[in-house]
Structure formats: structure tokens, C-alpha cells
Amino acid sequence: MRLGIKGFTTAAILSTLLAGNVFAADTAQDTYKAKCQMCHGATGEPTGAGKSMGAKAFSDPDVVKMSDADLASITSNGKGKMPAYKDKLSADQINDLVKYVRGLK
């Protein structure tokens, strides 16, 4: 099958755009590993650093009873020694993180 130059160019552009979107999309798990895991641990159980800063396990009853909006607000604005991420992550990334964290407990 022969593609004309126009068809080849269109296919090349589409392939590049689609590949770019696949590689650019970080998952909540990737974001968690990069931004949260150092203190909150791989399973939601705080690391030594997290414990020293007052982080609670995601399975802690006080954390479990928080609403998704509460967790998103804490992630956005910070709390105690936890830094704010509103300038580093989009609202969608923060909401995806909250869903991911809920799955860790």
C-alpha cells in the first residue's frame, strides 16, 4: 500500500502526537512515588521521615473518616510539616492522588 506524501505526513504527525500524549501522562501511582512515598511509604504506612513529621497511616481511623475534599485540601495547601502541592500539581492530579491513596488502605 502506498501513502502519498500528504498521507504519510498526516500519519507521521498523528503518530507523534499520540506517542507524546502517552509518554506525557503520569499516573497517580507515578506521582505518588515521586512526591509522597518518601514520607507516606509505599503502602500508606509512614516511613521514619514521615513519622518524625507527624504523618499518619492512611489506614488510621482519623484519616479514613476524612472526606476526599479534606484530603485534597491537605494535599493542595499542606498541613503541619507537609508542604503544599497546589503550585506543583494540577487539581486533577491531586484528585487522582486522593483516589490512589484511598486504594492503599
Tell me the pLDDT tens digit for each residue of 4-58: 555 444 444 544 444 443 444 589 999 999 999 999 999 999 999 999 999 999 9
**Average of per-residue pLDDT across 65-88:** 97
pLDDT reported for residue 20: 41
pLDDT reported for residue 26: 82
H or E, element range at 16: helix 5-24
pLDDT reported for residue 2: 54
> In 3D, which of 51, 55, 91, 49 has the Cα closest to residue 73?
91
Buried b (16+ CB within 10 A) or exposed e, 7-46: eeeeeeeeeeeeeeeeeeeeebeebbeebbbebbbeebbb
Domain boundaries of the chain, sorted by first residue:
27-104
Whole-number Å distance between alpha carbons of 42 and 33: 7
Per CATH, the architecture of 27-104 is what? Orthogonal Bundle (1.10)
Q: Is the separation of the CB atoms in 103 and 42 below 8 Å?
A: no
Q: What is the pTM of this model?
A: 0.73
pLDDT reported for residue 105: 62
